Amino acid sequence: MRLKIMQAGDPVLREPARPLSPQEIISDTVKRLIQDMRDTMHDAPGVGLAAPQVGLALQLAVIEDREELLKSLPADELAKRERRAVPFQVLINPRIVRSGQKQIEFHEGCLSLAGFQAVVPRAHEVVVEYLDELGEPRSLEASGWYARILQHEIDHLHGTLYIDRMHSRTFTSLDNWTRFWKPRAAAS
């Protein structure tokens, strides 16, 4: 089922989300929510979706950067962003336990700020600890665009939006990004 995506201004996007208990994680309700969030993310289309974005202040996010989304992007753009396919993942009660010193800056958008983008600095590398959909502890290391997705979704779980981290003078509509910024990015 497709869920409604909350837009900037909705208070749930600014609340710290609460952790899920072991009982909640294995419940049919959370299993259904995970599937509905995956369907909603695919339909949007997006590469990540956090529970607050669908109105629930829970520490739950799904991510997936599907191969089909990458096919429409030029190879040099994918290489510059270090963007590659990421399989579907469920992150419950995630936390960034280490961030690399190196920062990278790219335009970033959000399903909860539909129609806009801005340049956002993010750590190039992160280590994240989380629970999977079975409640099992996991750890992962990510770099490039994958690390950006993780940081973006984990920010949502703390009530933070990319506009809190952006270079404010780069905030733009998607139409103007295509008109003015995309040609610059292709040339660099």
Q: Which of 67, 82, 125, 153 is catalytic?
A: 153
Task: Report the C-alpha gap between 37 and 74 in whole angstroms.
Answer: 28
Could you confirm whether 153 is annotated as catalytic? yes
Distances from the Cα of 8 to the Cα of 151, 162, 173, 178, angstroms? 18, 11, 15, 22
Pairing mode, if any, of strands 60-65 and 48-50? Answer: antiparallel
Catalytic residue IDs: 153
